Structure 1
């Protein structure tokens, strides 16, 4: 049985609004620690044979300057691939940037993911609710993988009632983070949360998220 409360607490979440040369952006930041070496975590998130065991089938020209595609999900260009510490890619479009950084002490690894999009896409900090719960689900799946709790069908597992309950808690957690960040209005957060529930926890949409 999935320990939803502890898995939700294991993830650190942030929402930031900033400015780059291309204009204003919104960034979601997630961090989680895994009981595995940096090299092992890097391999688990870049080796297609392992990625498909906890996430999705991965194909492409998997090198810096190449491209990738996650089956039924996003694809993009590989901008930086500095094994085993830094991976930076476009994700679903040229202005949507995902950066993964790994740091460790030999026994465990701190996994940090940042997903940055232009304000035109996010609209406000509430845009975090469109991607944050999905990334929470990926970090959960990776944790279960390292714990030896490997689903026969990761996609089916991600759509299970139990996983949707985790996602509902994730939507609530991200709503709180966005509110605390001051990057969106209450109305924007409420509207985005409804969309997020319909996407990530459709069987629970309209019901309680506790």
Structure 2
């Protein structure tokens, strides 16, 4: 990627209180974006994969973009309304993350709003992390390689922006 990414997250109120929200727009059908964000084979291209039976309300998620030897995280699916809404809770270390995304489509553009409830994790790393992963998603939707997205373009350069939102 050539352009320096700019942070665009905002804080707002969500189902679990204050949350960081990051929006992306894609020139793609909503079903294609939904598939890229929920189907294990498509998800693997930009962030990781899940295993298990989502009908049980729980899956194991492997964040393989962090490396090949990652421990699974259990995701408790709290909402799944294809192709518009998904929400899940997961434990990360000693904390819990409440994640959700919403998709809408108008005039050939699918908009994704991704949100994570604020917890104990520093916003200066959470925000840049999700910006990075959503840009990796964008690359795969463009038919490009997500590995072209350089983490060092996001962190720590976006950290101050996100920390200022929390003040």
Q: TM-score, normalised by structure 2?
A: 0.79
How many residues align? The count is 158
User: How much has 1:95 moved relative to structure 2?
Assistant: 4.7
SS in 2 for 1:91: strand
Contact 1:68–1:77 (8 Å) recurs in 2: no
User: How much has 1:38 moved relative to structure 2?
Assistant: 0.9
Q: After the TM superposition, which residues 55-204 of structure 1 pair with which residues of structure 2 at under 5 Å, given as runs?
A: 55-63=47-55, 65-71=57-63, 72=70, 74-92=73-91, 95-105=96-106, 107-118=108-119, 121-122=120-121, 127-151=122-146, 154=147, 162-176=150-164, 178=165, 183-184=166-167
Q: TM-score, normalised by structure 1?
A: 0.64
Structure 2 CA distance for aligned equivalents of residues 101 and 33 of structure 1: 12
Give the structure with the larger strand fraction.
2
Contact 1:18–1:26 (8 Å) recurs in 2: yes
Change (3 A) 1:85 1:19: closer
Structure 1 range deviating more: 84-93 or 62-71: 62-71
Structure 1 CA distance for aligned equivalents of residues 37 and 15 of structure 2: 29
Match in the other structure for 1:13: 9
Q: CA RMSD in A?
A: 2.7
User: Which whole-Å deviations, capped at 9, do the CAs of 1:118-154 have from their partners, x for residues lacking one?
Assistant: 5xx25xxxx3223111111111101111122124xx5
- More relative contact order, 1 or 2 (CA 8 Å, 6+ apart): 2
User: How much has 1:15 moved relative to structure 2?
Assistant: 2.1
User: Which whole-Å deviations, capped at 9, do the CAs of 1:60-110 have from their partners, x for residues lacking one?
Assistant: 322472333124364320111100000010032685211100001151111
Match in the other structure for 2:67: none
Give the structure with the larger helix fraction.
1
List alignment gaps of at least 5 residues for structure 2.
64-69
Match in the other structure for 2:66: none
Larger Rg belongs to: 1
SS in 2 for 1:135: helix
Contact 1:88–1:100 (8 Å) recurs in 2: yes
